[in-house]
Chains A and B, each alone.
Chain A
Amino acid sequence: MGSSDIHPRNQAAKNSIVRTVNQVRQATEPVYLRKIFRLKQVRQLTPEAYVLRFDRNEINFRAGQHITLGIPGNNQVREYSIYSTEQDASLEVLIKEVDSGLVSRQLRKLIPGELLEVDGPFGYFTIAAQDLQRKFLFVGTGTGIAPFRSMAGSYPALDFSVLHGVRYATESYERHHFPHDRYTLCTSRDDQGNFRGRVTDYLKQKSLDFDTLVYLCGNCDMIYDVYDLLTSRGFPSGNIKTEVYF
């Protein structure tokens, strides 16, 4: 059914009403609370991965939370974990361009000064205040490292170790954000990391204190594998928190 099927009288008024509805929509932004931000910087980390930096504006978040991001007017948004710290003046997200992806490819084309549609923060993949003194194991694959970079930077006294699973060592992104002795890079396709193999292979060789809080972020297969591995050893499932990337 196309617009030509619409009664002429209705059709005549159509353009003005669409305009009116769009004007009303602009006036009713509080429904969605989406904000338009200006991009400040694009940092290319690998041919596929990049960091977008934009003004913090009034977004107050807790490390581990995510925002939704899109191009204004494109009607498509995606969720991205916040990469920057709670204290940073700007907001950053780490994005990997996906071949079949819609938004990640659109965002990649942005240049500083262009606009972004931002909403949030959202999510519960955070550290409760009463847990800040506990020991943490962060396990992330690919850009699933983003919330852990935020947590590590936001809570400098945090007792954590981080396990980052990637294919090649070049995908370690900005590992300098983590103290050298707390970061282990697991590479599945080269020998340039700290460990050759998947994060699960690494964990199989390690024992884990059952009081540790384990945070898993990344693709669902990794999360399932680590979850199975840990719970099969009797590790309490209640000490495992997950954030699935899709």
Chain B
Amino acid sequence: MKYHIIALGCQMNKSDSERVRTVLEGVGYHWTDDEEEANLLGILACSVRQKSIDKVYARIAKWNKWKNSRNLLTFVSGCVLPADREKFLKLFDLVFTIAELPDLPDMIRQYGIVTRHAPVMKPKDAIREFWMVRPTYVSEFEAFIPIQNGCDKFCTFCAVPYTRGREISRPSPEILGELKLAVEKGYKAITLLGQNVNSYGLDKQGAELTFPGLLKAIGEYGKSSGKDFWVYFTSPHPRDMSDEVLKTIAQYDCLAKQIHLPLQSGDDKVLMRMNRKHTFEEYQRITGSIRSILPEATIFTDIIVGFTGETEEQFENTRNAMETIRFNMAYIAVYSPRPGAASARWNDDIPMAAKKRRLHVLTDELTLHTMEYNRNLIGKKLKVLVTGRDRKSGYLSGITEGRIVVRFASGQPIPPGTFVWLDITSAATYSVEGELLNNLIGIPEPA
């Protein structure tokens, strides 16, 4: 029996899909890249944008047609609004929240499909049972570890509080256990995942480590393990970003000097309407702290253009904010209302042409800063994690600790997940090129 899963949207869904793989493979299914030959097809849906939900409907329409000619079981999970869930029940064979994943084998068996025995897990605390499913990592060097589920922030453009529920922190021993296992297996880039990672532990009101405490525990393990790896996290919320987090990162080599801090808008009034609960001034104070406590860190962000009511002046404030902060990367999205999110009740009053123009303006702004930063890397010797083959023949790709993409020629095969050292020789908008220091492949520190 073969299965195929499509994970739409954010990294959280991709990470969740790795746990789905474990459960399915545990009952005898095998992965296929070709959905046409699969007996079981699933989607981890994303409710952040309408486009993603449209993709779910398009896919299930196709799959249900296939059912006329062969036996096929379909499921949907992930971020699904209650109203969509009701509709999906009529289209998919199985609709379940991701926390119900441990029950998937039982659900499959109810369709008369004989599966290999899998341990019965009766959930008392469903999301904990889900976290206890060991993921089947897709990558050989990069692992994603969920540290919390849900969101309490209620940003008006986002439906996550209605799809994943409120913030629940995963017990720190489980996180550390999963991280240690990944490191021991040779994973080199490990990302802690959550909707608001830096509010980790706050829901437990003193009965759990806080986020800096969790980072410290990871840092101590990194120090004692003698292993070489980088730990990232995404996404933090500016409201909960403290100097303590930054100082903890500064203390430990394994905590990567890269901060992804969503800005969303550089205008205070748009931020109010988005219910972000921070001002640009406060955001700037945090990036100032990052520059002073972690001077080598890169800063990434998320921005939405064309949010309901965003005036030209307010947009200009976002452009100014980009000029001030000088991000190393910005994931810029054109606003589209998502039914279920609070902002969907407001007029989506910015014309698409204006949204696209704003997107281009910000992209141009971004490239000025990325180019400037990347040029400054020329002549530097950087440690790089090899991620795979580059599009250019004879070249490999990698990332720096700050997640800057590096391309380099290599006369020898170097497996992904290997640390190498490179002399940076040239810069492009979103990447740099380097020359391999052959005597420093897999060696933690340069001579």
Residues in chain A within 8 A of chain B (CB atoms): 1-3, 5-7, 9-10, 13-14, 16-18, 20-21, 24-25, 27-28, 30-34, 68, 75-77, 79, 119-120, 122-124, 220, 223-224, 227, 237-238, 242, 244, 246
Contact = CB atoms under 8 A, between A and B. Distances in A.
Interface in B277-305: 277, 279, 281-282
B391 to A, nearest CB: 38
A25 B73 CA distance: 20
Contacts of A30: 99, 125-127, 168
A73 to B, nearest CB: 9
Interface string B300-315: 0000000001000000
Contacts, number: 130
Contact of B64 (A6, A18, A32, A123): A6
Interface stretch (B11-19, B42-50, B81-89, B406-414): B81-89
B140 interface: no
A13 B112 contact: yes
Contact of A238 (B85, B99, B100, B281): B281
Interface residues on chain B, size class: 35 or more
Contact of A7 (B72, B90, B99, B273): B72
A238 B279 contact: yes
A13 B110 contact: yes
A28 B277 CA distance: 31
Given A1-B60, A30-B125, A20 B85 contact: no
Nearest to A29: B126
B430 interface: no
B253 to A, nearest CB: 34
B123 A124 contact: no
B112 A1 contact: no
A53 to B, nearest CB: 23
Nearest to B99: A31
Given A20-B106, A25-B100, A237-B281, A31 B64 contact: no
Nearest to A77: B162
A122 to B, nearest CB: 5
Interface stretch (B322-330, B338-346, B379-387, B396-404): B338-346
B272 A244 contact: yes
B111 A1 contact: no
A6 B99 contact: no
A3 B90 contact: yes
Given A5-B67, A246-B345, A32 B166 contact: yes
A237 B91 CA distance: 50
Contact of B309 (A9, A18, A33, A220): A220
Contacts of B342: 79, 246
Nearest to B97: A31
Contacts of B95: 21
Interface in B73-129: 73, 81-83, 85-86, 89-91, 93-97, 99-100, 103, 106-107, 110-112, 123, 125-127
